[in-house]
């Protein structure tokens, strides 16, 4: 999985370089492939097979006819895709904080450790708020930098910088959690994986 993500990022960076104008078709394919794949999967899950087949064929025909336009403007597709992904993650965190829902980090901690203490519930709610703010700011940064940086530098940020920021945020969350909460001897991500296989 990590290798696929790294390969995708490297190809995206290569296609955005002014030194590789002939690689724009690669950039366009990379920009449209995740959206198209996601749409096709949803069609096959949510509609009749014949309907999904007809709509998939129609989408393919439209893409074929409009490919030169897509190829010339693939950076805008990348902008929409990048902002859309991180805005969706932010919305998931934000939504879990309202309407008597269980905060996203509380849900994850509950799956990892079972029943939570009052201190853990308080912390995970604050952590959910912090992650929501992080992804909102990341989305705004991606949008703002698109209009202020060169395309090469913008792609460096979205392909590699965002992952570095998420890693730093994750490490910071881990360090703070270890400082303010007692350490659990059992549970954790391995327990979640184990329960998913054996129930």
Instruction: Answer positive or negative: Cα dihedral of 137, 73, 39, 33.
Output: negative
More confident residue, 34 or 196: 34
pTM: 0.78
Mean pLDDT score of the chain: 82
pLDDT band for position 172 (cuts 50, 70, 90): very high
- In tens, the pLDDT along 116-168 reads 888 899 999 999 999 999 999 999 999 999 999 998 899 999 989 999 999 99
pLDDT band for position 195 (cuts 50, 70, 90): very low
Instruction: Answer positive or negative: Cα dihedral of 58, 63, 69, 75.
Output: positive
Instruction: Please report, to the nearest 10 degrees, the dihedral formed by the alpha carbons of residues 3, 4, 10, 15 taken in order.
Output: 170
- In tens, the pLDDT along 41-71 reads 777 788 888 888 888 888 888 878 887 887 7
């Amino acid at each position: 999985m990590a290798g696929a993500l790294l390969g995708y990022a490297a190809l995206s960076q290569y296609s955005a370089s002014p030194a590789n104008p002939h690689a724009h078709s690669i950039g366009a394919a990379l920009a449209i492939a995740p959206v198209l794949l996601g749409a096709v999967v949803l069609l096959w899950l949510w509609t009749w097979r014949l309907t999904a087949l007809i709509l998939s064929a129609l989408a393919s025909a439209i893409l074929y006819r409009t490919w030169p336009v897509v190829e010339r403007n693939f950076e805008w597709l990348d902008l929409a895709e990048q902002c859309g992904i991180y805005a969706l993650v932010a919305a998931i965190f934000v939504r879990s904080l309202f309407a008597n829902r269980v905060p996203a980090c509380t849900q994850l901690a509950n799956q990892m450790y079972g029943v939570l203490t009052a201190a853990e519930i308080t912390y995970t709610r604050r952590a959910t708020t912090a992650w929501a703010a992080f992804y909102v700011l990341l989305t705004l940064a991606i949008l703002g930098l698109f209009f202020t940086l060169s395309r090469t530098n913008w792609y460096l940020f979205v392909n590699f910088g965002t992952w570095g920021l998420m890693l730093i945020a994750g490490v910071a969350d881990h360090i703070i959690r270890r400082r303010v909460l007692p350490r659990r001897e059992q549970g954790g991500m391995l327990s979640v994986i184990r329960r998913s296989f054996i129930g």
